[in-house]
Amino acid sequence: MMTKQGSRAVFDSLLAKTHVQHALVQPDGRHNEFPTALATLVLLEETPDRLQATYDKMKGDLAPWEPSPRSISDEEAKSRFLGDGRFQRAFMTYFSMENGRFAGNSKALAIYHFFAGDNPLICGLFAGVGRPLTLLSDGIELRATIMVMESLTLSAVDWMEPMSELLTHPQLELPPGEYLSPEDLIGRVGYDGRFSGVMRAGPGFHGVAHVFSNPNARAAIPEYIRCLDMSNIPLLLQQLSALSVLLSTATHKPDQVAFDLYLSRLPACVNSTRVILESWVVEESHKVLFVRGLFLLIMLTYITQLRPVVDGRLLASKDLAEENRGWETIYKKAKRQGTVEGTYGKLEFLRELRSLRELSKAYSAAHGRLYIHAAWKLVGHWKGWTGLGIDREAMLNIRL
């Protein structure tokens, strides 16, 4: 108990320090991953020393906030500067003032800004492969108002007009010819010629603008979102959970295990959505918009990573089938692979392990040992990430 209390005190101190000192989006476009790294370690019940060591390792790479060209003090200015990274400091100040207007009720503040107005910030929540999304769910789980402010700020900075247009497309209100499961929809996306040749420069979610700028690809997206059956959102989220595991651990070549960085972020995005819907979102229309946003993110990630073949048999090896050890053993093995400098020091690796565990708690009754098999595969075979579009990286099982 004392270790948990000590870790929480260190977490609060370091989070406040980096919040004041370090910009959320760095000058080279990278995101400041430190708040998420801290939250992941606390949620995994790491020691105060481990939190401090992680901060000491990461702080040297983080640039300070830069003044914005002007302040933001109202809704009109907020909408005008959405998506403009120069205003990240102004957005942070604005949402901090808004938190005071809502008397410190960060839940009411978040619901208002994510769903109200002509440009609701939910359209930025799924940008950057869900970074604002995970900040928000971490803020909810840890009751950390600072992380809610950072989620709102990053949603405003990463806000993209095409995401907004796709999530509010009139076609989504029309009845589909048929409802399909998320896995079936992604299977059809894999063979849809309208997405062929869109990512000519190679994989990477940073190239999502190529999808938005292609008229055929952009027109196809609402057709798929429309086919989701929104009548049972808990069941749909359960299906999206299983799909995220397959995309992250069962899309490599049969003889070359590889893990794509962006696809491996999807289980965390699903788990974050689950946390947010169960904790804060009440209105059914908001839940529908939220889950559509999650599926849009999954679709865009799958397309930008070149639509690899999804093969569930890759999670049905003899070794995995015979593996009956639990989560405690998985974490012990992961920790033996290194500390801050090793495998266990990699934020995305840790985040995926933790997300798989949480999804297992929620959905193992429906999916059996899917999540623990995926975790064992990750721990046993992970040597680094692919999908970044760099020379000589391992390729997923891409259709030619």
Predicted local distance difference test score (pLDDT) of residue 345: 53
Whole-number average pLDDT of the chain: 91
Tens digit of pLDDT for each residue in 133-174?
A: 999 999 999 999 999 999 999 999 999 999 999 999 999 999
pTM: 0.95
Predicted local distance difference test score (pLDDT) of residue 321: 66
CA distances from 116 to 120, 146, 156, 222, 233 (A): 5, 21, 13, 22, 21
Q: What is the CA radius of gyration of the chain?
A: 20
Tens digit of pLDDT for each residue in 234-244?
A: 999 999 999 99
pLDDT at 400 over 80: no
pLDDT band at 245 (very low <50, low <70, confident <90, very high): very high
Residue closest to 22 by CA, chosen among 34, 7, 11, 10: 34
| Cβ contact 375:330 at 8 Å | yes
CA distances from 395 to 149, 258, 351, 388 (A): 37, 7, 22, 10
Domain ranges in the chain are 2-159, 167-400
% of the chain residues with pLDDT over 70:
95
